[in-house]
C-alpha cells in the first residue's frame, strides 16, 4: 500500500477525554473514529489489526473443535422474558420497538438465542457434544463508556457456547476452552493469566477471566507468584498448574481461603480480555431445551459460554506493547509486515530502488506500507514509529551511494545496513523479526 494513497492521517493532538495511551495512539494513527459516545468507526489501519486478531481467534477456535455460525445482532424479547433476563439484565440492554410495536433488543450476549437455535436441530445424546461460535458485534449501554474501544458500547466479541449431556462432560468442554484461550492469546504474542471470577449477568458457578497485566487495567488480580515463573503457559504442565493454583479477581479474594503467605502473592492490575462460564442447565431448563438419552429420557443440556473481547484486544495489545514513540505491534497482529520509507521521492535513483523493492516484496506476499510521500524525513520516521510496524526498510541517499539500505527493528530500535542488491540478505534480515 502506497502511503500517498492510503486512508491514513496521523496527528499529534488527541481529544481531552483520551487518558489511556492505547486510546491516544489509536486516535493519533487514525485507527478508529468516535461517532458518538462509546461507538466507533474502524478506519483502514484499525480494521486491519482487528481482522488479524479475529482470524487468529477463528483459527484456534476451529483447532479446538468449535464451529462458526453467525447470529443476528437484533433479537426478539420473548426468549429473554422466559429466562428472566429481560428485566434482570438491567439498563445495559438496549431495547426498542419495531413498526409493529414488537419488542426488540440489540444483543449484549447470546445465550438465549443460541439455546433456541440449538433446540431446533439437536434432540439426541448421539449428537453431543457440540460447540458453536460467532464473531459478532454486541451492544451494552455502559453507564460510563471510557478508554476508547477498551470499554465502549458497541464492541466486537467472539462468543461460543458448548452443549453436553452431563455436567462432567460439560466441565471437559470448559477445560478444552480454558486451553483454547491460553493458546489463542499466545498466538497473538500475549501472556494472559487465568483467574477465578464472578459470573455476573451470565450466571453459573464456575467462571474464569483471562487478564493481561497492565498498569492501566481496571481490575485487580491476586495470584500465586509461581505463575510468573511459568515459561510457556500453553504446555500441558502449565495448564495443570494454572487450573489448580490460587489466582482470583479482587471480588473473589477472601483472605481466609487464601493459604498463601504474603510474600508468595502477586497483586497486579489486569485488563480482562476473555471470560468463560459454566452454568449447567440455567438456560436449557428455562428454554425447555433437552435431548433424549439412551433410555429415551429427556435431559436438559449442560452448557457453558465463552467470550473474548476482540475489539478490546486491539487496545489491550497496545497497552502492553508501546514506547514513547508509538505502538510496537507484535508481528502476529501487525497491520503490515514491513514499512518501507523512501526518504526522498524527488530523487529518481532512490525512487527506482524503492519502487522495485516494493514490487519484489509484494510478489513475495509481504504486506508493505510504502511511504512514497513528500513529507520531511523527520516526519516519515516519526510516523512509521508511531504506526508501529515491527520492521522498517529505509532507503536514503547516503546509504544508497554505498549500495546499502537500512533495516530498522522497531522494538529494539536497532538499525542494520544491508547491501541493497542482495535481496536474499534483505529477506534474511527481515526474517529475523517478521515472518
Ligand atoms: N456470554 C459471555 C461469554 S460469551 C459474555 O458475554 N461474557 S463477558 O460479558 O465477559 O464478555 C466477554 C468479553 O467481552 C469480556 O471478557 C471483554 O473482553 C469483552 N467486553 C465486555 N464488555 C465490553 C465493553 N463494554 N467494551 C469492550 N469489550 C467488552
pLDDT at 151: 95
pLDDT at 17: 86
Does 240 score more than 60 pLDDT? yes
Q: What is the mean pLDDT of residues 215-233?
A: 96
Q: Whose CA is nearest to atom 5 of ligand 1?
A: 307
> How many whole angstroms from 378 Cα to the centroid of ligand 1?
41
C-alpha 168: how far from its chain's center? 30
pLDDT at 258: 82
C-alpha 109: how far from its chain's center? 17
pLDDT of 40-52, one tens digit each? Answer: 999 999 999 999 9
pLDDT at 233: 96
pLDDT confidence band for 428 (50 / 70 / 90)? confident
How far is it between the farthest Cα atoms of the chain?
83
**% of residues, the chain, pLDDT over 70:** 99
Count CA atoms closer than 13 A to 221's CA, side-chain side: 30
> How many whole angstroms from 415 Cα to the centroid of ligand 1?
41
SS3 216: coil
> How many whole angstroms from 46 Cα to the centroid of ligand 1?
20
pLDDT at 120: 97
In contact, 391 and 352? CB cutoff 8 Å:
no
Q: Which residues line ligand 1 (CB under 6 A)?
A: 109, 140, 142, 151-152, 155, 157, 159, 202, 272-275, 305-307, 309, 312
Task: Kindly report whether the global pTM for this prediction surpasses the value 0.85.
Answer: yes
Q: What is the mean pLDDT of residues 120-144?
A: 97
pLDDT at 257: 77
How much is the mean pLDDT over the chain?
96
pLDDT at 434: 54
- Give the atom of ligand 1 at the shortest distance from the alpha carbon of 200: 9
Q: What is the mean pLDDT of residues 198-209?
A: 89
pLDDT at 433: 59
Q: What is the mean pLDDT of residues 401-417?
A: 95
Q: Whose CA is nearest to atom 22 of ligand 1?
A: 151
The three cell numbers locating residue 201:
449477568
Does 435 score more than 50 pLDDT? no
| CA–CA distance, 312 with 217 (Å, rounded to integer) | 12
pLDDT of 292-342, one tens digit each? Answer: 999 999 999 999 999 999 999 999 999 999 999 999 999 999 999 999 999
- Of 307, 311, 317, best ligand 1 pocket probe by most atoms within 8 Å of the beta carbon: 307
Q: Whose CA is nearest to atom 14 of ligand 1?
A: 309
pLDDT at 86: 97
In contact, 392 and 341? CB cutoff 8 Å:
yes
> How many whole angstroms from 342 Cα to the centroid of ligand 1?
42
Q: Are strands 368-371 and 338-342 parallel, antiparallel or unpaired?
A: parallel
In contact, 24 and 138? CB cutoff 8 Å:
no
Length of the chain: 435
- Give the atom of ligand 1 at the shortest distance from the alpha carbon of 313: 18
> How many whole angstroms from 408 Cα to the centroid of ligand 1?
37
> How many whole angstroms from 309 Cα to the centroid of ligand 1?
5
Q: Name which of 101-115, 175-189, 420-434 the model is least confident about.
A: 420-434
The vertex-190 CA angle with 184 and 194, nearest 5°, equals 70
- Give the atom of ligand 1 at the shortest distance from the alpha carbon of 161: 4
Q: What is the mean pLDDT of residues 125-145?
A: 97
pLDDT of 242-298, one tens digit each? Answer: 999 999 999 999 888 788 888 999 999 999 999 999 999 999 999 999 999 999 999
pLDDT at 200: 86
For 7-30, give the DSSP string.
Answer: S----S---TT--SHHHHHHHHTT
| CA–CA distance, 184 with 61 (Å, rounded to integer) | 8
> How many whole angstroms from 189 Cα to the centroid of ligand 1?
21
Q: Whose CA is nearest to atom 6 of ligand 1?
A: 109
pLDDT of 47-74, one tens digit each? Answer: 999 999 999 999 999 999 999 999 999 9
> How many whole angstroms from 152 Cα to the centroid of ligand 1?
10
Amino acid at each position: 500500500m502506497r502511503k500517498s494513497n492510503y486512508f491514513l492521517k496521523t496527528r499529534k493532538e488527541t481529544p481531552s477525554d483520551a487518558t489511556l495511551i492505547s486510546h491516544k495512539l489509536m486516535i493519533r494513527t487514525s485507527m478508529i473514529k468516535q461517532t458518538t459516545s462509546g461507538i466507533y468507526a474502524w478506519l483502514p489501519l484499525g480494521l486491519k489489526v482487528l481482522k488479524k486478531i479475529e482470524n487468529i481467534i477463528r483459527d484456534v477456535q476451529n483447532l479446538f473443535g468449535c464451529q462458526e455460525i453467525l447470529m443476528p445482532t437484533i433479537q426478539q424479547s420473548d426468549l429473554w422474558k422466559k429466562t428472566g433476563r429481560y428485566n434482570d439484565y438491567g439498563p445495559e440492554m438496549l431495547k426498542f420497538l419495531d413498526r409493529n410495536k414488537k419488542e426488540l433488543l440489540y444483543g449484549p450476549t447470546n445465550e438465549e438465542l443460541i439455546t433456541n437455535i440449538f433446540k431446533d436441530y439437536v434432540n439426541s445424546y448421539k449428537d453431543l457434544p457440540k460447540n458453536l461460535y460467532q464473531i459478532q458485534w454486541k451492544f451494552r449501554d455502559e453507564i460510563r463508556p471510557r478508554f476508547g474501544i477498551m470499554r465502549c458500547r458497541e464492541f466486537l466479541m467472539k462468543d461460543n457456547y458448548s452443549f453436553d449431556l452431563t455436567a462432567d462432560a460439560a466441565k471437559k468442554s470448559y477445560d478444552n476452552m480454558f486451553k483454547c484461550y491460553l493458546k489463542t492469546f499466545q498466538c497473538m504474542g500475549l501472556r494472559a493469566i487465568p483467574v477465578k471470577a464472578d459470573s455476573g449477568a451470565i450466571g453459573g458457578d464456575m467462571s474464569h477471566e483471562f487478564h493481561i497485566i497492565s498498569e492501566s487495567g481496571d481490575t485487580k488480580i491476586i495470584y500465586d507468584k509461581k505463575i510468573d515463573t511459568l515459561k510457556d503457559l500453553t504446555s500441558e504442565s502449565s495448564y495443570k498448574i494454572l487450573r489448580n493454583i490460587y489466582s482470583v479477581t479482587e471480588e473473589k479474594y477472601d483472605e481466609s481461603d487464601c493459604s498463601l503467605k504474603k510474600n508468595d502473592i502477586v497483586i497486579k492490575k489486569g485488563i480482562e480480555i476473555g471470560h468463560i462460564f459454566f452454568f449447567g442447565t440455567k438456560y436449557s431448563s428455562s428454554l425447555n431445551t433437552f435431548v433424549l438419552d439412551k433410555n429415551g429420557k429427556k435431559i436438559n443440556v449442560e452448557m457453558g459460554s465463552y467470550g473474548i473481547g476482540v475489539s478490546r484486544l486491539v487496545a489491550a495489545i497496545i497497552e502492553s506493547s508501546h514506547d514513547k514513540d508509538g505502538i510496537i505491534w507484535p508481528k502476529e497482529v501487525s497491520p503490515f509486515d514491513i514499512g518501507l520509507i523512501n526518504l526522498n521521492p524527488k530523487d529518481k535513483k532512490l525512487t527506482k530502488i524503492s519502487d522495485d523493492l516494493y514490487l519484489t516484496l509484494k510478489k513475495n506476499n509481504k504486506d508493505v506500507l510504502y511511504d512514497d510521500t513528500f513529507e520531511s524525513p523527520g516526519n516519515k520516521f516519526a510516523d512509521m514509529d508511531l504506526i508501529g510496524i515491527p520492521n522498517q526498510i529505509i532507503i536514503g541517499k547516503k546509504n544508497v551511494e554505498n549500495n546499502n539500505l537500512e533495516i530498522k527493528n522497531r522494538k529494539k530500535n536497532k538499525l542494520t545496513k544491508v547491501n541493497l542488491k542482495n535481496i536474499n540478505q534483505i529477506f534474511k534480515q527481515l526474517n529475523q523479526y517478521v515472518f
